[in-house]
Chain A
Amino acid sequence: GQQVMQIPQYQHVQEGEDFTTYCNSSTTLSNIQWYKQRPGGHPVFLIQLVKSGEVKKQKRLTFQFGEAKKNSSLHITATQTTDVGTYFCATGGNTPLVFGKGTRLSVIA
């Protein structure tokens, strides 16, 4: 089945710095979803990308889907302490969602 690899596993940033997490696959993906899980919380859906080269923005968050639909990225501009948590990518299509291992973001005030 489809698998997605996420890097980095951990990221520590100073408040105000930018942050990027990457999601990669060896196969073409039908879609990419991104979720955020706050410490002690549950995954919460952020966005879904389905088109080649698609870019979507949510305030300080920018999501990209690669031209070949084999990778995706989530970029946060000027991180804030509220951005702390683990960010997961997931892919589905004709199968149940398969999640990456996530990138845990720590923000130092």
Chain B
Amino acid sequence: ETGVTQTPRHLVMGMTNKKSLKCEQHLGHNAMYWYKQSAKKPLELMFVYSLEERVENNSVPSRFSPECPNSSHLFLHLHTLQPEDSALYLCASSREPGYHTEAFFGQGTRLTVV
């Protein structure tokens, strides 16, 4: 039902591994976002891309590295993560960089760092 597709849905990785999360939106939107959702915290905005340019980085540790090769695709590269990074990572898109528009979320990647 969603126009935003995330892969993989589940990921278990060791602290020394390198992995990437992928997000693809089929809605023709110009803005894409990465959010982190932990059990006891609200949805935390990590990165915002507008027309393939990063416009916001919410003090995210450098072990998270985003990439936006075009307006339809967004990646989150992960390396040397910590167990506390285990969470649900949600990708979202919106029609325009202005923030009055609704956000469409992907189904998320459930990440477990062991």
Q: Which residues of B from 30 to 52 have beta carbons under 8 Å from A?
A: 33, 41-43, 45, 48
Given contacts A95-B99, A97-B45, 16 further A-B contacts (CB under 8 A): A31-B100, A41-B107, A42-B105, A42-B108, A44-B105, A45-B103, A48-B102, A88-B42, A88-B43, A90-B43, A93-B99, A93-B100, A96-B33, A97-B99, A99-B42, A99-B43
Whether A42 pairs with B43 at a CB distance below 8 angstroms is: no
Interface size class on chain B is: 10 to 19
Once the chains are docked, how many angstroms separate the CA of A98 from the CA of B45? 8
Whether B100 pairs with A42 at a CB distance below 8 angstroms is: no
- Would you give the shortest CB distance from A64 to chain B, in whole angstroms? 18
**Nearest residue, chain A, Cβ from B108:** A42
**Cβ-neighbour of A101 out of B42, B48, B56, B100 (below 8 A):** B42
**Nearest residue, chain A, Cβ from B110:** A40
- Would you give the shortest CB distance from A102 to chain B, in whole angstroms? 7
Mark each residue of chain B from 83 to 114: 1 if its CB lies under 8 Å from any CB of chain A, else 0. 00000001000000001101111111000000
Once the chains are docked, how many angstroms separate the CA of A16 from the CA of B107? 30
Query: At the interface, is chain B mostly helix, strand, loop or mixed?
Result: loop
A interface size (C-beta, 8 A): 24
B binding-site residues for A, Cβ under 8 Å: 2, 33, 41-43, 45, 48, 56, 90, 99-100, 102-108
**Nearest residue, chain A, Cβ from B1:** A44
Whether B42 pairs with A92 at a CB distance below 8 angstroms is: no
Contact of A102 with B42 at beta-carbon distance under 8 Å, contacts A41-B107, A42-B90 already known:
yes
**Nearest residue, chain A, Cβ from B6:** A42
**Cβ-neighbour of B102 out of A33, A88, A93 (below 8 A):** A33
**Nearest residue, chain B, Cβ from A43:** B105
**Nearest residue, chain A, Cβ from B94:** A97
Q: Which 10 A-B pairs have the closest CB atoms?
A: A92-B99, A99-B43, A45-B102, A42-B105, A101-B42, A99-B42, A43-B105, A42-B107, A96-B45, A96-B48
